[in-house]
Amino acid sequence: MTKEIHFSPDEIIVSKTDLNGHITYANRLFMRVCNYPESALLGEPHRLIRHQDMPRGVFYGMWKTLKSKEEFFGFVKNSTYDGNYYWVFANVTPDFENQRPVGYYSVRRVAPKEALIDIVDIYKKMLEIELASDRASAPEKGWQWMVDYCAQKAGTSYDEFILKHYQQYR
């Protein structure tokens, strides 16, 4: 049986990746929460901790945003080394040197329980859409559904919806 791993609201998980998403830095809290030693994280793709409940569309949207040199916000469910999971509210930001991106910083905070009620349902719908689509187009279709959902249900952009959703429950 899997269990949810928790960390304190005043703690922040930090990692850094190269342009391809391979981990180049992980703070001690990240290692403690995901239960991986530093040697098992460094050089590995950040998707190493991706939980199976996460729609690929969220990461499609993240990469689309980052490649536009903008920061991304989102709720993410991650896996631990020993098969457990934890939720975070992530802020992923391009890291620039001489105005050129050289990697990405990810800062993760506790995801408020109340915010996750809606997010879990939204992600279930995205997963349904992705499972009903061919593998190549599934992430884009899942992401587009999320963008449309934000516009229709909340009358706002994805970014505004996610940030408001986080802020109203923290």
Asked whether residue 5 is domain-assigned, the answer is no
Can you tell me the distance from the alpha carbon of 41 to that of 64, in angstroms, rounded to the nearest whole number?
24
Residue 168: the pLDDT is 95
Asked whether residue 54 is domain-assigned, the answer is yes
Of 19, 29, 22, 6, give the one whose Cα is nearest residue 107.
29
pLDDT mean over 73-93? 98
Q: What is the pTM of this model?
A: 0.96
Question: 134 has which bridge partners?
Answer: none
Residue 35: the pLDDT is 98
Q: State the total domains in the chain.
A: 1
Whether 147 has a pLDDT exceeding 90, the answer reads yes
Asked whether residue 98 is domain-assigned, the answer is yes
CATH of the domain at 72: 3.30.450.20
Please count the helices (runs of H) and the strands (runs of E) in the chain: 6, 5
Say what percent of the chain tops pLDDT 70.
100
Q: What does the block give as tokens for 109?
A: 């905070």
17 within 8 A of 104, measured Cβ to Cβ:
yes
Residue 90: the pLDDT is 98
Mean pLDDT of the chain: 97
Residue 60 sits in which domain range? 13-169
pLDDT digits (tens, 9 = 90+) for 88-141: 999 999 999 999 999 999 999 999 999 999 999 999 999 999 999 999 999 999
Q: How confident is the model at residue 1 (pLDDT cuts 50, 70, 90)?
A: confident
- Can you say how many angstroms the Cα of residue 89 is from the centroid of all Cα atoms in its chain? 7
Asked whether residue 7 is domain-assigned, the answer is no
Asked whether residue 85 is domain-assigned, the answer is yes
Asked whether residue 1 is domain-assigned, the answer is no
